[in-house]
Structure 1
Amino acid sequence: MAAVRRNVVTDTAARDAYVRGVKLLKAEQTTATTADFGIPGTPAPVRTYDLFVIWHHLAMNQPVPPGGDSSVRNRAHRGPVFLPWHRVMLGVLEANLQRVLQEPEFGLPYWDWSADGDLAAPQSATLWKPEWLGGQGRPVADGPFAFRPGTPGTFRIRIEATLDNNLRQVNRGLRRAFGRPNASPTLPGTDDVDLAYDTVADPALATYDFSPWNTTSRGFRNRLEGFRGTGLHNQVHLWVGGDMLPASSPNDPVFYLHHCNVDRLWEGWMNRHGRTYLPTMAAPASLTGHRIDDEIVSPLGPAATPRSVLDPGTLYSYDTLP
């Protein structure tokens, strides 16, 4: 039976299972060490959860085309593959959570941040209460991922991205800094999401993506990623702040709840406009990694392509779609 992905705020069972599963993956050692990824310092075991942090960081620093500028387009962002790449990552995490929880029908929950964006003070939303994910701080001091040195199993950040886009070993608590004025003072609201589907105001939103396939492109992908329009995905990272800002952003467990909602919004778009994707394989080789049948490289799961993940119905569904 396919998993059902539910709202983390309204489904406490999904919330509790997610927290428990994250902690299990954070404690689970793999056969890899930091030396395998060229991370300086004394080689240390890499936990399963931290493999996802490394995976995301490496993808963000692999430019497309090779030898180009990763800030223009990389293997996971700033181009058409943004949504399929993260769908693959979420699926691999979900499978690992199902494994460690021994719950084969567990569905990764989502955070509907647009509901919190409608609040006068998004930082007061339910998600940030101690019973859910805890609040902000350097480090976060409450909730299930609070940093409590000396307490067995305390949540630790062990690998982070540096300002010059390298990885380094650390041993510290999780950081969040909500709504900084120089980043994003608020979250996207429901009106912002509605605008992303408004093909009357912008007919280009009925098409997945357009040339030049980067942050200037028209279409739904770039609107949802947040380089055009009101911000959406990008704005959420900026508003949460702290560990959600660098390429090592999966360090914050809210990353996956955020991207699960992004995936839900994409699924809502496909329900309206069909399971379509661009560019085709007729696009030049300089776009390798972003074309419909290009391989999405996953060090943690089987290879996939954008085409292969357009219909996830046999694996999961959402309790509600926009």
Structure 2
Amino acid sequence: GDSAVELKFKDMPLPLVTPYMAEFAGYKIEKGQMSLDLKYTITDNKLEAENKLFIDQFTLGEKVENPKAVSLPLELAITLMKDGDGKINLELPISGSLDDPQFSVSSLVFKALGNVIGKIASAPFKMLASLVNFGSDEDLSLVGFSEGNSELNDHEKTKLDAIAKALASKPALSLEVKGAAFKDLDWPAMRYEALKDQLKKIKAKELRAKGERTRSEYIELSDEEYKELLAQQFIEKFPLLADFSIFGTPRLKEGESGDFYEVARQKLEALLPPEEQRLNDLAVLRAGNIAKYLQELGVASNRVFLLSTELDPERSDPEVSVRLSIR
């Protein structure tokens, strides 16, 4: 048969429920008031319940050593769940069997609460997105960049706009930014600059031989100088593919097709192994640009932490992206 029950628990002081919490997440509860509105339907000894859970001023106390505790960033979840006045309002669907010898309403409530907290803690950016009604279901924790580039495009800025808004509503939170670069994606887009730098070094050497001392990074190559140095290098390194004609003009040998300078650039670029320093500088710039943009939006600089950068971090996303985390 069916029976419906309605129960209201008002202002239960939270330390009473500490044993569950310590079991659940390894913390004691310092203070807080909890009210529960439970609407039950019991069908064939199965309990289905819609719960409104309201917790006021939920504060965690000391950590408890408990090998069974789920390891969750509990403080983070609680901060995300609280509204501006420190109140938490949750709807908890609950179900269980009355035949279960372990059956108790409070343990079911805590199991459900555990699930909610677990969800939030494992996907805090989803929670942030919902706080500011961010329209898209994109992952706010990933900021995308184009290959070899450190500039933020408008699309990624809208994500950071949403994060800045969420941070404004949650003063306890701060953001961590881990700059990243990827050899397979970024390096091919950076090789051209690396090749030009190589040619500038050769130019600097030539100038030194004439008694002019100039550091290679201060050299500006004219289009003509660039082509000349490129041809010289290409023919030196790939004598089977190209040579100079009797008039001294560079040319591709029989059977090679394409624009001479284009082919030369591609072949010489392909010889260059990824430079960690260059990739790392790119990773640092990316993280810096994210931090700078958030500061322009009014996020205090002491709320944005730059973590050490990483080359080729693991990624689920095939695109170039920098990962953010919340603390």
Q: What TM bracket, shorter-length normalisation?
A: under 0.3
Q: TM-score, normalization: structure 2?
A: 0.21
Between the two structures, name the one with larger relative contact order (CA 8 Å, sep ≥ 6). 1
Q: Which has the higher strand share?
A: 2
TM-score for both structures, normalised by structure 1 = 0.21
Q: Which of structures 1 and 2 has the bigger CA Rg? A: 2
